[in-house]
Amino acid sequence: MLTLRHKTESALVGIAALAGVALGIGHVLRHLASTTVSEQTGDDREIVGAVAESTTHPKHLVGQLDSFAAGYQTLVAIIEGVAFGALIVTGQQVIFRSASIPRQLIAASQLSATFMVIAAVTYEYLQLVRAVQWSPRLADTTFPYLLGVGQVGTAISIGNDPHWWGSVAVLSLLSAWAFIYSRIRAKQAKFAGGEKHYKAFVSMITAFAVASTSLFLCEAVMCALAVGRALGRLGSSSLHLL
């Protein structure tokens, strides 16, 4: 039975990953279709927000950056699909197998919070690709993977308060680093609205970085309290055994 359960869980994660791949491929096909229609009608595509080139890159790189945007959406969809699969598998185990109603409610609240984190990360990355583009570097693919690991860690920690709060704290810290990196890279992008749009983007990213850092500090405190409670319960159990 244990082997069958593990196979079922692996299959569910795999299905979620395939769904992420399908979503990413859909983004690519839609991008290619819109490009074809634009070429047939002869209309120039308007880039809203940031122009997909920096002042240091030649114009022929614009098309390459557009392709990078579609590929980046595929990458994000795959990573978020795996995180969502881990969330579903762990959530149904913990919530429906918990002995007490209070633990079920706590696990359900952790599941809801983790789901909102996954949805928020997906939304922010898709909007970021639409808002501004730059020549990709290794860090541009490293950060999505790091955030994906943080989300999976948060998902599989549902039901274990110290681990869950610790995973959320790490995820918030990684998010702050990702926002700071986006703020740095924004200096290399040329914005269609000029300095006004650049300042608005930097202000928004800075606010997100500050919010993520604040959340990290609060979650680190909650993790310490959860560890203290767990150690207290462990100590009480040891005294009863003696």
Which contiguous run of DSSP H or E holds residue 49? none
* Number of other CB atoms surrounding residue 28 within 10 Å: 16
CA 154 to CA 158: how far, in whole Å? 7
pLDDT band at 42 (very low <50, low <70, confident <90, very high): very low
In total, the chain counts a number of residues equal to: 242
Q: How many domains does the chain have?
A: 1
The predicted model gives 178-186 an average pLDDT of 88
**Radius of gyration of the chain, Cα coordinates, nearest whole angstrom:** 22
pLDDT band at 192 (very low <50, low <70, confident <90, very high): low
User: Which pairing describes strands 190-191 and 50-51: parallel, antiparallel, or unpaired?
Assistant: antiparallel
Question: At residue 138, what are phi and psi to the nearest 5 degrees?
Answer: -60, -40
CA 181 to CA 206: how far, in whole Å? 10
Residue 80, amino acid: E
Percentage of the chain lying above the pLDDT 90 cut: 30
Q: Residue 238: its pLDDT value, please?
A: 57
* Domain around 44: 2-241
Q: Backbone dihedral region of 78: left (phi > 0), alpha (psi from -120 to 50 degrees) or beta? A: alpha
Q: Which of 28-32, 85-89, 133-137, 202-206 has the lowest mean pLDDT?
A: 28-32
CA 160 to CA 79: how far, in whole Å? 23
Q: Residue 188: its pLDDT value, please?
A: 72
Q: Residue 70: its pLDDT value, please?
A: 74
pLDDT at 126 over 70: yes
